[in-house]
Structure 1
C-alpha cells in the first residue's frame, strides 16, 4: 500500500522508536530510518525522546482521535510548505532548525495522525501473547495481525497443536 510521506515514513519511524530498546542509540535509529538531518542528540533531547516514545506507544495500544489529538497538542509548530533539496513542494510540521526532539515529535505525531485519518486499522500491535512489537500495516489487504512471520507461525502452530493433540 502506498502512503504519503507523513502517514507512511513518519508512522514507520514512530513504530521503530516504540520498538527501540532502552539502550538503543536513537540517533542511529533515526539515521537508519532515513530521517535527516539528525545531528547529535544531547542528554536532554534523549530524555525527551524517551518520554515521547511512551506516548507514541499509547497510540499503538489505542489508536483513537483523543489519543492522537493529545499527541498533536504537544507539538508546538505550525505546518509550512518546504521545497528544500530541489524536492517538490511538501509539508513540514516543524522548522528544520528546531531541536531534534521537537522535530521528531512533530513528525511522528503528524505521521500517525495522517495515517489514522486515512487508514486507522493500519496502526497495529502484535497479536501474539507476550509480544509487544508494534507495526504499521503496509500489506495489500490491511489485515496484518502479527509483527512478523515468526510470531504468526508460533500462534498458528500452537492453535494447531491444541486442535490436534499428539
Structure 2
C-alpha cells in the first residue's frame, strides 16, 4: 500500500505548497530507504508529483487507467520479488541501485496500478471541500469517500445546510 499512499501525500504536497523539508519528511514517513534529497532531486520529485495529480483527479476509470499507464511507461523497470530486511515477499519495480527519485517513481506508478486493479478503477480522489487540496486513497468499506477526512465532510455539510439561509 506504500505506492498509492505515497502518491497521495506527494499530490497533497503539490496542493499545499511544495517544500523540500516536507518532501523529505513524506519520503521518511513512507520508509523510502536512502530517501535523502538535494535541490536537484527535489525538483525531479516535484515534477513527478505533478505528473501524478491527474491520476487522483481523473473522472472516469478509463482516464485514470490512461494516466497510470503514462506513469508506468515513465517510471517502472523490470518488476521483481524481494524479501530484503526480513520483510515478507513484496514487489520492487526498479532495482535498489537506482537513485531515490527513480525508486519513488517506480513505487508510486506500480503501487497505483496494483491498487486500481484491486479497487476496480476507483477509490482515489481529491477532497471535494472547496479549498482543500488533500488527495486520498479510499480504504472505506463502501468505497464512496468524497472528502479527505470527516472534518472536511462535516464542514462542507454545514456549509451546504447554511447556504439557503445566507441568501436572505
| TM-score, with structure 2 as normaliser | 0.85
- Please give the alpha-carbon distance, in whole angstroms, between the structure 2 residues aligned to 1:39 and 1:130: 30
- Is 2:125–2:137's contact at 8 Å kept on the other side of the alignment? yes
Matching of residues 126-165 of structure 1 within 5 Å? 126-163=127-164
- Residue 9 of structure 1 is aligned with which of 2, 9, 12? 2
> By how many angstroms is 1:86 displaced?
2.2
1:27 aligns with 2:28: no
Unaligned stretches of 5+ residues in structure 1:
1-7
Q: Which runs of 4+ in 1 moved over 3 A?
A: 162-166
Shift of 1:89: 2.4
**Structure 2: where are the runs of 5+ without partners?**
none
TM-score by length of 1: 0.86
Identify the residue that residue 52 of structure 2 maps to in structure 1. 56
User: Is the Cα contact below 8 Å between 2:76 and 2:109 reproduced in 1?
Assistant: no
Matching of residues 85-100 of structure 1 within 5 Å:
85-100=85-100
CA distance in 1, matches of 2:122, 2:72: 19
Match of 1:42 among 38, 42, 50: 38
Q: Could you tell me how far apart the structure 2 residues matched to 1:15 and 1:43 are?
A: 22
Larger relative helix fraction: 2
CA RMSD of the aligned region, Å? 1.8
Asked whether the 8 Å contact 1:27–1:38 carries over to 2, the reply is: no
Q: How many residues align?
A: 158
